[in-house]
Chain A
């Protein structure tokens, strides 16, 4: 199977998982509020409807960038999905430093959102873009430090210095999950909260803020481009829990065994439900408080986890 085949299989498969995940998100939210919630195929209906609607271009929008941004974000999320799945299914075949590439690739959707929002020429979207920028700058540092913890654990465990996700997974198969240590627990918690911000879910939904910015960054989008933004969300919602499971709880392991796929599904559901529950039990933070939370709360915690991992805890 060529590179394009792997990319298509990963993107489409992840999309299906992401649609189910987004339904779980809406259904759990509805149940928490004592509502019934939408049917299973609701994400499919939404996308089909949006694809059939007309695309409106705001008068002040810079057309090309405005319409290109969602496509770039979607493509980047698809590449991220391909890297994560490839590293899990064939851990021996990954390239050197795919962890670093993955961290960069998963940042591109956020940058595309900022670009599209600024190109739309709407003051609400501009506000959303500036908030997204602040959020991006605040959560990236703790996320990178948390992701370094399993890498340091491999170094201390005698696996050699590596930035290959495949080697991190193989090391965890032989010497236990990264989560089973003090530094691992702290790093997982920090990474989970950073992922929450990456998905721009409550309490870090500042860029969208339905009640004050009316959708913020994607306010001016309609029809197919809006469908593209929704699809990017589905991809990220599916990739992020798999990313966490890969780094901290051993990922897939043996790809030929059905049990390891079942175990991965279990890990996925646990991380997804944690994200949904955090979303449903917290109010939205102010920009100031979100930045302070990540810089002065999460970043020192992640740095402490790095030191603990270096000391062998």
Chain B
């Protein structure tokens, strides 16, 4: 295990990408920063630019408008980085999977530009903050 990965497990900085969410998952993501869950004690910080990020928290059903932008954000994130699909919509398309505006699930969009991407799934509508922390721990332990 390299020094970089050793550090990455202890300080994953996250960037929040909304690709068409109903805002429910976003509220739960912000809940992670509040005193009740306080993910900064695990080294996680919400950053404002994908260039600073180690993990992308993707929420929402990926719309046709958002798919190319999601790819752009992913290419601008320095590797190694982890993609978290937060919520049922990001994982599969959820109840919007037959809609006209739905492109593809987030993992397929990411795999199109990087087949080796590290992708973690946190299902739920919305997933509880505890589930997101458990997902992050599981994803970081596989590195």
Contacts and interface: CB of A to CB of B under 8 A. Distances in A.
Interface of A is mostly: loop
B8 interface: yes
Contact of B43 (A33, A45, A51, A211): A45
A53 B43 contact: no
Given A38-B41, A39-B41, A219 B7 contact: no
Contacts, number: 90
Interface of A: 26, 30, 33-39, 41-42, 44-56, 210-211, 213-215, 219-223, 226
A221 B53 CA distance: 11
Contact of A222 (B8, B35, B43, B51): B51
A97 B17 CA distance: 52
Contacts of A53: 4, 8, 54, 78-80
A51 B3 contact: yes
Contacts of A38: 40-41, 43
Given A210-B48, A214-B48, A215-B47, A52 B3 contact: yes
Given A49-B8, A51-B4, A54-B79, A219 B40 contact: no
A52 B11 contact: no
Contact of A45 (B10, B40, B41, B47): B10
Contacts of B5: 52
B38 interface: yes
Contacts of B101: none
Contacts of A221: 51-52
B136 to A, nearest CB: 15
B24 interface: no
Nearest to A220: B51
Contacts of B48: 210-211, 213-215, 219
B79 to A, nearest CB: 5
